Chains A and B, each alone.
Chain A
Amino acid sequence: MRISVEHRTRYQYSAPVTTSHHEARLSPRDSEHQRTLSQGVEISPEPSVVRRRSDYFGNRTLYFGLCEPHLALEVTSKSVVELMPRRLEDPSRAPPWEQVALLLKTDRKRDVLDAYELTFNSMLVKANPTLAQYARPSFTSARPVLEAARDLTRRIHSDFTYDRRATDIATPLEKVLEQRRGVCQDFAHLMIGCLRSHGLAGRYVSGYLVTEPPPGQPRLRGADASHAWAATWVPEFGWIDFDPTNDLIPNGQHVTLAYGRDFDDVTPLRGVILGGGHHTLKVAVDVVPVDDEI
């Protein structure tokens, strides 16, 4: 399936920004189940410098700087990707989670090391006893790691209420756990924290979800949003994604932008500005299957 994604971000400032530096991770990754067919990021006003690189986790990263005074900044990323069906593993064939945790701790092969790195605390996700306790019912003795993770996905979905007003980007994980409310980013962080509390690797994935408009209604422009979910590493299988917000294993509907230890590693657009006064922010996202493009 071909998906077209348009992600527009507009900052409006009350006073001129004299210089600014930004980092964007708005270009989809390629993988065995995703291929980028076209991609471009438009920035207005024209930046004085634009640099592309691949970051520590292999995400396509754009650095740009503006040094002419400006009152607004608009960044539009347009991509078309092709999603291929994922190979779905039989969860019961996965090794017991304890065995995976032990392997991560002891094996020094490069791919295992890379996964091991994702078992450690990061800026926004720190393992702690409360998280471990919440996760424990899913991690029964010798349970295959994929079954445990799938169960955890289900439990987060049923125990937590989706609530846009409950949290913001600064809400700590403890608070989310306490109030049992949040958005996809919180649920992804929660799942990662639960995995790490059991010595397993937890990866944060940012991207988009293809949604269908309610039956009989037209697709609304700008009504979509970006999305986030989690992944864990399983020997032989590699990284397997789980979407706790929607209680499913992504397949064919999730467009992957970037991944890292948590949201902080993959923030779609961040910046440091000089001047600017107050600012307002507008984000509009359209995720449309190419066949029924409006």
Chain B
Amino acid sequence: MQALETAVPESSFVANYAPEPSAYDEMCTEAQHVRSHWQPLVQRLGTLGISEVGRRWGKAQELIHENGVTYNVYGDPRGMERPWNLSPLPVVVGPEDWLLISRGMVQRAELFEALLADLYGPQRVLTSGTLPPQIVFAHGNYLRALHGVSPPRNRWLNLYAADLVRGPDGAFRVIDDQTQTPSGAGYTLENRIVISSVLPEIFRECNVQRLALFFRAFREMTQSLAPHNRDNPRIVLLTSGRSNASYFEQAYLAQYLGFTLVDGNDLAVRDDHVFLKTLGGLQPVDVILRRVNDDFCDPLELRPDSLLGVAGLVQAARTGNVAIANPLGTGLAQSPALSPYLPALCLQLLGQELVLPSPRSWWCGEPSALPEVLARLDQLVVKPAFTSSSENPQFVGLFSAAEREALVRSLKATPEAYVAQEYVTPSTTPVITESGLTPRALVVRFHAVATMPRGFTIMPGGLARVADVAGVSAISMQRGARSKDVWVLSLDRVSGFTMLPPSNRPLALSRGGGDLPSRVADNLYWLGRYAERAESVARLARVIGARLLDLSSEGELQRSHEFGPLLAALEAQTEFLYSADIPYAESMTIETCEAALVSAVSDDSREGSLAGVIRAALRAGRLVRDRISMDTWRVLATLDGEIEDLRGARGGHHLSTLVNLLNRVEVTLSAFSGLAIDSMTRGQAFHFLDMGRRLERGTALVTLLRATTVRVSDREGPLLEAVLEIADSGMTYRRRYLATLQTPAVVDLVLADESNPRSAIYQLRALADHIQALPPLPASGTRSPQLRFALAALRELELAEVEPLCEPDPEGGRPLLEKFLRQLGTQLPQLSDSLSDSYLNHAIVSRHLVHEPATDSNGGGA
């Protein structure tokens, strides 16, 4: 298909590249010539040199790791599953191939759209005999509740994606269609951003078509579907949940396109309209971009056991008050069982020959198909007939005898459940390995988006996946596969249009006003709490550790009085003893002190240990990934590695290593706080994040004072110094009182001095301000309960007379101070609970009302 091929340039870059003769190679011809459309890239890479590419790639990987979690990590931080590793060499698509691919993709999208309109309408393809009706009637995604319901603007398909391979003959085949919730566009975009920053000059010079225009079309399409408010519609991306493999892609797309990321519980149907539950009340939703499968979308009319959907959504869709993209029921068209019938359907529905065919396929429910399939089984891939599953194609040629036998049995028992497809040996493309360039099998996913009023546009680029093992027989793409950027070369000058923000500034929360979903507010609040809790635990542990390091003997430990109270404070913090009694260790050795410290830092079986709290912060952060800036996220991601180091500390690091580590964690966490403050607009998101921080900081201060100041000791100086250091108030103190350390002065500064931004009263003042800035609650009086809690605590602190409070009793205690602190320790959690009750507990999960029970006649007597 390529016109010009010239000899490989004198470049070590491709010198030892040896494609396998049995497959088509994307870069080289059989005669080892570089295809013309690859030459611009190959020449420039040759000039750059493979080692420079390697060096840059190393740098990029650091960036990816920092961005890491954005880029491709999902699930638990320890799970760290990476769906794809990115590979630095792009795949180049020449202009002629692109013409064919884009024409073929548009046609296939149009075909599936016409097919869906027919199947959910007159069903002429069934009455005419073109399509066996079983394929529709036995399909789980044929949603009868949607039959006869025309989607907004009569567009049955808004997004479409397909996986293409190129066979040894050089022709493309579609091995998988996605018509329900096409995925991968977000990954494609992320890949492009990374690769174009690794190879910026090559990317510019190669005249690569940009992706931004596609995403603009994507956004325009979504907007134009809105039944109301077309000028400024509210568009949400309905996620299939955090545990879904593509959750981060969903969060990424939502952020990039400016849509609100929601899950089913964030939405509610009232009077045939869909609303977003926000802090400011219910806000109408015009368009839902869904990643939830058809049958899970509405527990009332579809699958009753679904927790992902929205009750009443089908009814809202039926009335046309909300657009759902893709429309409900579109999963029907991605059935592999359709493949054998697509050429005939294309003729009947579009009057055209199919441009991009599937591999030769048989639906085994067709009486004539089964014998043919069994006769050539070893050259075939067998798939379930009704579920799209490119993830799991079974190439029979690789089966063991027992597996093959089991398959034959199933085929004979329920032939209609299977589709068999000729195996197409995929083309290969080079990847960089330790032994230089090596060919690897390639699959590319291309994306289409609907244009209004008709037609589709194709993304000039795609998500390439390459096998991670050599050899073209490797068919399974999901394990250890790598992804690649796909460069579609342009004959014209490319448009420099970009949708990325102009500079590298943090992406601030742009959603002002009242559209913050309650669930998101809840997660931000907890992110603030956990991050602050981690910071205070780290600081406390670091102060203790540093002092332990200074000890020269057990005797010195016995003579010093600060370790008991400080370790008690650490215990109280990590065991959440906010108002309960704080236990003090009876006797201590350096060894027990160190053990207590290590446990509080790194024992991740303890929920309140530093490791445990950081993990909780990461978890909360991940859930609001789309709401915090890239930089803030990057800081959080750094913590991920530190958690691992903390865990190592458990094995018995030297104490000084632990102290260094705590220092680092503290710095990272203050960077997080700083960034959160700098990069967030003062909207509701910020209020909730900061309320979490303030509440936690206040609690930590009260706990610290309760553990360290309510008992009189002989030498209070060193302990008070530690308290000031932990409360980050040492400098202020010295400025005020010079070197004299006295309990009342320290308590006053840390507890009740409003000019000290690290004092408890300062935190409460900030909390009260935040609460007053929150949207008013319906049906509450002038002051909400949480405001009353905050003001009550604030009042007590304002009126507190510190000197009398600190008066010791004859037993050497400070009972008044203890009582005062204990009460504060009770009030703060109450304040938190009432905040949750008022704003955050909207996520009550709906449930199914038991059907009216099976009914019966009055016994068999009639």
Which A residues are within 8 Å of any B CB, using their own CB?
9, 11, 18-23, 48-49, 51, 53, 55-56, 63, 65, 67, 108-110, 113, 116-117, 120-121, 157, 162, 164, 167-169, 183-186, 206, 209, 211, 223-228, 245-248, 253, 263, 265, 267-276, 279, 281, 283, 285
Contacts and interface: CB of A to CB of B under 8 A. Distances in A.
Interface string B827-862: 000000000000000001011111111111111111
Contacts of B816: none
B131 to A, nearest CB: 10
15 contacts: A19-B270, A55-B144, A110-B127, A113-B126, A185-B855, A211-B858, A211-B862, A224-B858, A225-B855, A245-B857, A246-B860, A248-B862, A268-B852, A270-B300, A273-B849
B854 A185 contact: yes
A279 B127 contact: no
Nearest to A53: B318
Given A65-B270, A65-B271, A108-B127, A271 B857 contact: no
B858 A226 contact: no
Contact of A283 (B127, B134, B852): B852
Contacts of A265: 144
Interface in B280-321: 299-301, 304, 311-312, 315, 318-319
A154 B785 CA distance: 68
Nearest first, the 9 closest Cβ-Cβ pairs linking A and B are: A226-B855, A272-B311, A271-B849, A56-B144, A183-B856, A185-B854, A21-B312, A49-B271, A227-B857
Interface residues of B, number: 44
Interface string B204-233: 000000000000000000000000000000
A283 B860 contact: no
Contacts of A183: 854-856
Given A51-B315, A108-B133, A225-B855, A272 B126 contact: no
B409 to A, nearest CB: 14
A272 B853 contact: no
B859 A268 contact: no
Contacts of A164: 856
Contacts of A271: 300, 848-849
A113 B127 CA distance: 8
Contact of B862 (A20, A209, A226): A209
B133 A116 contact: yes
Given A19-B268, A272-B847, A186 B855 contact: no
A23 B313 CA distance: 13
Contacts of B147: 56
A143 to B, nearest CB: 24
Given A184-B855, A223-B858, A56 B137 contact: no
B850 A21 contact: no
B855 A228 contact: yes
A267 B857 contact: no
Given A56-B147, A113-B133, A67 B852 contact: no
Nearest to B143: A56
B585 interface: no
Given A120-B138, A169-B851, A21 B859 contact: no
A170 to B, nearest CB: 9
Contacts of A110: 127
Given A56-B145, A65-B312, A121-B138, A186 B854 contact: yes
B372 to A, nearest CB: 20
Contacts of B127: 108-110, 113
B272 interface: yes
A116 B137 contact: yes
B298 to A, nearest CB: 9
Given A21-B269, A108-B127, 5 more contacts: A49-B271, A53-B318, A184-B855, A185-B856, A275-B844
Given A209-B862, A279-B849, A168 B854 contact: yes
B21 interface: no
B311 A225 contact: no
Given A19-B268, A21-B315, A273-B847, A209 B857 contact: yes
Nearest to B856: A183
Which of A9, A120, A247 is most buried by chain B, counting CB atoms within 10 A of its CB?
A: A120
Which of B129, B269, B848, B855 is most buried by chain A, counting CB atoms within 10 A of its CB?
A: B855
B128 interface: yes
Contact of A272 (B272, B849, B854, B856): B849
A268 to B, nearest CB: 5
Which of A108, A211, A228, A285 is most buried by chain B, counting CB atoms within 10 A of its CB?
A: A108
Nearest to B131: A108
Given A116-B137, A246-B860, A269 B852 contact: yes
Given A108-B126, A113-B123, A270-B300, A225 B856 contact: yes
Contacts of A56: 144-145, 147
A13 to B, nearest CB: 10
A41 to B, nearest CB: 14
Contacts of A168: 853-854
A49 B122 CA distance: 30
Contacts of B300: 21-23, 270-272
B230 to A, nearest CB: 24
Interface in B251-274: 268-272
A11 B848 CA distance: 13
Contacts of A274: 844, 846
B852 A267 contact: yes
Contact of B851 (A65, A270, A273): A270
Contacts of B312: 21, 63, 65, 272
A167 B658 CA distance: 63
